[in-house]
Amino acid sequence: MNFQAVRAIYFFEMARFFRTLLQSFVSPVISTSLYFVVFGTAIGSRIQEVDGISYGAFIVPGLIMLSVMTQATSNASFGIYFPKFIGTIYELLSAPVNYFEILLGYVGAAATKALFIGLVILATAAIFVDLKIIHPIAMILFLVLTCISFSLLGFILGIWARNFEQLQLVPLLVVTPLVFLGGSFYSVSMLPPIWQKITLFNPVVYLVSGFRWSFFGNADVPIFVSLLAISSFTVACIIIVAWIFNTGWRIKQ
Amino acid sequence: MLLQVNELRKTYATGFEAVKGISLQVNKGEIVALLGPNGAGKTTLISTICGITNPSSGSVFIDGYDISKNFRDARKLVGLVPQDITLEPFEKVLNTINFSRGLFGKKKDDALTEKVLTKLSLWDKRDSRIMELSGGMKRRVLIAKALIHEPRLLFLDEPTASVDVELRQSMWDVVADLKKDGVTIILTTHYIEEAEAIADRVGIINKGELLLIEEKASLMQKFGQKILKVELQKKLKQLPKELSEKNVKLSDDGLSITYIYDTKQKKTGITKLLSNLSNSGINLRDIQTDQSSLEEIFVNLVREKVE
């Protein structure tokens, strides 16, 4: 195992994050505050309570998930796409590193960034609403697993993408709608019966639901189903990454 | 032997066969120049040896390590300076160099970093961002990145393509220094004067094949045409009949005759030429010969193969 190489990739990627610290830090704080102003205060004052929780607090897990998923995906995809785009990937391919070490470096860094942003949003939310976390260990577990799995997804996208447009496509057209429609801002039980069934095909529902359970103790779907969903998603991503590395798909001719 | 390439072939997915069964051996401490026109397969050959593209068939050993089975041991020995300037524009010089060393599994070594950067006149620029550097400096950063993990075998893929004369000379000096340190160097170029100036051996690649690889001196001798220039005492209006051959030419001013001959031939025809000159009553002022350059050798060789 070439730990030095993993370290080098990880810190090189993290340096990119720290270079844009203001953007990385301020942008989630501002957007979270905006969500609270719009959803929590303007709209939330008319909704009042969902499942016995104030609406402002109810949307916190969904808000965190929204940012974590999109940030993890775009960070990881950019991290591996950029060297491909500017050609510096030659160095990774000719270095004494195996694919697992490359993955560990890139996905580790992207997941760390996403986790950091998730925690910043959590802290910002705590300013606006009264937050209680009933299952803190489960909360951290869900958060970390989501960071890792969506970074894996981003890594796959970054390898798949042939241009910047494709790079933006999936986070914008797939991840964001799925999160918005995945019960981030509402409870599945608030939907008409037919949509309650359809929404169960959205994998994000299980993640948001499980994450919300770790905060408030109630969920749209049973917690073990949520755990199963996030674990299967992670495993699926790992299988795809393993296939990419074995075939050298879009990395090596 | 440091590098052994056996029957290496590379066919791209498009069906294009870029490398057609190249075999090559390079000894420790040698400088080998691979010469060839654009698209000859030089870069593909290097990329395949370094692990950037997968070989279609054949094998490569670096210091005895198979590049696929023992890729870690093999690649640790190799530094690569790519042809295109590929660097992260927003990174600082020092960071990008430390990154390269880390990738090769080595801890940061400040003394070595200073030594390498100083040698390449980059020490003053260590905290500059890549995008602030000139083209020549960027190329030196690429070299620094390749040297920072102390490779034993260095590939320079067209190191002096599109650089000015001054930088080219300084690049050659760097190569000479590296040779002194015992680094084996394989460089590709399409500048023949570059191969002539720094290489011990010269290989000629065209259309995916290694046409030949020889000691530079013996190559030049073997394929060298020579030019015999005879200066005359008196102006000549035209060549006498006995001298009219296609290899003999009278200069425009009528004061000299040039004769092109092949050193490979048993009979060079010099004796005959000189006796013909004397029979025609032409008095000579001076005689000199010129060895043809690698460029002429190269052009002749490629043309020969095509014919």
User: Residues in chain A whose beta carbon is closer than 8 A to a beta carbon of chain B?
Assistant: 2-5, 7-9, 12, 15-16, 19, 82-83, 86-88, 90-98, 248, 252-253
Structural domain includes residue A253: no
| Average pLDDT value for residue range A145-162 | 94
- Report how far residue B167's alpha carbon sits from residue A71's, in angstroms, rounded to the nearest whole number: 44
ipTM: 0.86
- Of B127, B61, B58, give the one whose Cα is nearest residue B98: B127
For a pLDDT cut of 70, what percent of chain A falls above it?
Answer: 100
Half-sphere exposure of A136 (CA within 13 A, CB side): 4
| Average pLDDT value for residue range A157-165 | 92
Structural domain includes residue A252: no
Is A162's pLDDT higher than 80? yes
Residues 133-162 of B with CB under 8 A from A: 145
- Write down the pLDDT at residue A27: 83
For a pLDDT cut of 90, what percent of chain A falls above it?
Answer: 48
Per DSSP, what are the bridge partners of residue B25?
B4
For a pLDDT cut of 70, what percent of chain B falls above it?
Answer: 95
- Write down the pLDDT at residue B294: 65
β-strand pairing of B184-189 with B153-157: parallel
Is A146's pLDDT higher than 80? yes
Which residue among B50, B78, B103 places its CB closest to the CB of A8? B103
Structural domain includes residue A168: yes
Please report which confidence band the pLDDT of residue B193 belongs to, taking 50, 70 and 90 as the band edges. Answer: confident
Looking at the structure of chain A, the number of domains it has is 1
- Write down the pLDDT at residue B286: 92
| Alpha-carbon distance A225 to nearest alpha carbon in chain B (angstroms) | 40
Q: Do B86 and A94 touch (CB under 8 A)?
A: no
Structural domain includes residue A112: yes
- Write down the pLDDT at residue B53: 92
Is B306's pLDDT higher than 70? no
Is A48's pLDDT higher than 90? no
Cα Rg of chain B, angstroms: 24
- Report how far residue B106's alpha carbon sits from residue A2's, in angstroms, rounded to the nearest whole number: 9
Please report which confidence band the pLDDT of residue B292 belongs to, taking 50, 70 and 90 as the band edges. Answer: low
- Write down the pLDDT at residue A129: 85
Instruction: Give pLDDT tens digits for B236-248.
Output: 888 888 787 778 8
* B32 close to B1: Cβ distance less than 8 angstroms: no
- Write down the pLDDT at residue A55: 84
Please report which confidence band the pLDDT of residue B218 belongs to, taking 50, 70 and 90 as the band edges. Answer: confident
Instruction: Give pLDDT tens digits for B149-179.
Output: 999 999 999 887 767 777 788 888 888 889 9
Lowest mean pLDDT among A157-161, B148-152, B189-193: B189-193
Which residue among B73, B74, B95 places its CB closest to the CB of A15? B95
Residue B290, helix vs strand vs coil: strand
For a pLDDT cut of 90, what percent of chain B falls above it?
Answer: 51
Structural domain includes residue A183: yes
Instruction: Give pLDDT tens digits for A169-218.
Output: 888 888 888 888 888 888 888 888 888 888 888 889 999 999 999 999 88
Instruction: Give contacts of A106 with chain B, Cβ < 8 Å.
Output: none
Per DSSP, what are the bridge partners of residue B249?
B258
For residue A191, the enclosing domain spans 3-247
- Write down the pLDDT at residue B290: 81
Q: Please give the torsion angle defined by the CA atoms of residues A149, A90, A85 and A105, in that order, rounded to the nearest 10 degrees.
A: 20
Is A98's pLDDT higher than 70? yes
Interface test with A, best of B103, B106, B157 (most A CBs within 10 A): B103
| Average pLDDT value for residue range A109-121 | 94
- Write down the pLDDT at residue B222: 67
- Write down the pLDDT at residue A86: 92
Instruction: Give pLDDT tens digits for A59-85.
Output: 899 989 988 998 899 899 999 999 999
Structural domain includes residue A91: yes
Please report which confidence band the pLDDT of residue B305 belongs to, taking 50, 70 and 90 as the band edges. Answer: low
Cα→Cα distances A211→A64, A122, A221, A224, Å: 9, 13, 11, 12
* A183 close to A199: Cβ distance less than 8 angstroms: yes
